[in-house]
Structure 1
Amino acid sequence: MVYYQIIYIKNSIMKKSEQINQGFTEKDFASMLKEYNYSLNPGDVVAGTIFNKESCGFLVNVGAEIAGFLPIEEVSLKNTKNLTSIYYLSLHNQTREFFIMAYKRDSKQLILSIRRLEYIRAWKRIKQIESEDVVLRLKITRSNKGGAIALVEGLESFIPNSHLAIEMKMLQIKNSSVSCKLLLANEKTNQLILSNKKAVLSIATNQLNVGDIVEGTVVKMEKYGVFVLINKTNILALLHISELGYKNIPNIRKIFNINDSLKVKVIHIDMEQGRISVSQKNLN
């Protein structure tokens, strides 16, 4: 990594400076960069120090003759429009890593980013979360007609309505905390899709098995069947019309009412999609 190459060069200079009892200077550093035939390029990670705040960003000393500039929008993954003074105070005179986004030849400036580094590292952690298939406890930041939005490692993720447990739909979603598992993580398209149902079902696996006869409550009715909230787990299950045990069903609403209690048998558990199918056939 470029950062560690710079540290190695810098340490070499300091050793030479100590030998001749002279202090380390930026000119020394610049001359050593030339001696090592070293260049800074977009995509590199460099060490630098923020030393001045401007109206639209920060000036950064990266130990070379080329100046570094950190735009406000590249300070963090978070919205920092109103936090520039706070970030400056926390970063001022602190040496840290920066991602080189571009080099502006006209102004001889390196365009730097902390946000890009955070993005890269966030995706590395997300890939780890995906490989371990862990359950996350996340705060809902906002909701829309399609579902809810939450942050995973600082990145926005989406929980579709179809993957929210029924009890979550009955709550005011904003500022609620939910258990979730990753459903889709695509760094190329920057897509993060989560499932609350998948997480809830994963947590309840020790309480529910295929073949179990359980009690539930009818919470929703459709032409193709009814949705049953299984009492002991609060997981929503589909009782399809083909699993009712009746030959002719002209209108399912003539058989069931909302809040009806009934016994059903678990016939399928889809851990990947967080879905359960139940039946009223062969309950004995």
Structure 2
Amino acid sequence: MTKILYNTNINTDSFASILNQYNYKLHTGDIVAGIILSKERNGFLVDIGDKFISYLPNEELALEAHRNFTHSLSNLIHEKRDFFLLKYDSTLKQSIVSVKRIEYIRGWQRIKQFQNENIIFYLPIHKTNKGGIITSLEGIQGFIPNSQIAHQIYTMNTDNHITCTLLLSDEKNNQIICSHKSALLLVSEHKFRIGEIIYGQVKKIQQYGLFIQVKHFVALLHISEIGFKYITDLNKIFKIDQIIKVKIIHINIKQGRLSLSRRYIN
């Protein structure tokens, strides 16, 4: 959850006088300092230093842990914090503020800083579906596709969290894609090298190649990299759980992928 720093040096009575002194006009989309005055049935009353009281609806609380955050806010009456001005109409004397929007903006600012770094995150598993795992990063929903999950490792996890790297972030489309496989490659005790010859175990046989487990990773041995002769049926040559010798020919840390070959192996 986003940590919010409070400025305890601001005097409540000074908000309106500061606005008047600088002839500052509030607008929708502004980020303003305010004080939570009281808890209402469906939200909170907030003083942002204007001539009328603003309203913070329950649905505009935190991005995560909505109920827990509601409870914590009830203990923060009279505390000062920042709010996003969702709606401001001085004529109708209506003002609606949001905490969630502040967290969203600041969350994306931090995510942009993460994009080009090989940072390993320990993310919560909110739920799973046929396509993968739904998680969240900096309070914003993210997704880990099945193609980016090392299932033989993930199934051993019992604390509802998973290690990941950030694969893709797209603020415009509110899209965050993470990779479990990439994180495992980064923290692996065995540092794979291109050209390394290693033994692996056949885990799956497809028409286009074999999926081989090497150490804790499942890598693709494409049919074109098995040999120099045309192969009509891989099932006649290989068996599930068979141990074979392979060479690592490609490592993609970002995607968490290893590619293998059996060519030129003595």
In the superposition, the TM-score normalised over structure 2's length comes to: 0.88
**How many angstroms does 1:174 deviate by?**
7.6
Partner of 1:135: 120
Letter in 2 for 1:109: Q
Pair 1:269–1:205, CA change in 2 (3 A):
farther
Name structure 2 gaps, 5 residues minimum: 1-6
C-alpha contact 2:122 2:164 (8 A) present in aligned 1: yes
Query: In the alignment, does 2:263 pair up with 1:281?
Result: yes
* CA distance in 1 between partners of 2:69 and 2:41 (Å): 10
* 1:1-284 → structure 2 map (5 Å cutoff): 25=13, 30=16, 33-80=19-66, 82-83=67-68, 86-105=71-90, 107-168=92-153, 171=155, 175-204=159-188, 207-231=191-215, 234-245=216-227, 247-284=229-266
Aligned residue for 2:115, secondary structure, equals: helix
Deviations 1:207-257 (A, max 9, x none): 1111100111111111000000102xx111111111111523221111112
TM-score (norm 1): 0.83
**Alpha-carbon distance between aligned partners in 2 of 1:115 and 1:176, rounded to the nearest angstrom:** 24
C-alpha deviation, 1:125, in angstroms:
1.4
CA contact (8 A) 1:148 1:173 kept: no
Structure with greater proportional helix content: 1
Q: 1:215 to 1:32 in 2, by over 3 A?
A: closer
Identity of aligned residues (%): 42
Residue 176 of structure 1: how far off its partner (Å): 3.7
The residue type paired with residue 74 of structure 1 is E
Code of the residue aligned with 2:107 in structure 1: it is A
Instruction: Specify every segment of 5 or more residues in structure 1 that has no aligned partner in the other structure, as ranges.
Output: 1-6, 15-23
CA change 1:35–1:272 in 2 (3 A) is closer
Higher relative contact order (CA 8 A, sep 6+): 2
Cα RMSD (Å): 2.5
Select the structure of larger CA radius of gyration: 1
1:47-77, Cα deviation, whole Å (9 max, x unpaired): 1111122222111011221221101011111
Deviations 1:171-229 (A, max 9, x none): 17785432211111011110000111122222338611111001111111110000001
CA–CA distance in 2 between the matches of 1:75 and 1:277?
A: 46
Q: Following the alignment from structure 1 to structure 2, what is the Cα–Cα distance between the partners of residues 240 and 277?
A: 8
* Superposed CA offset, 1:144-189 (max 9, x none): 00011112111111000011114146x1778543221111101111
Amino acid at match of 1:276: L
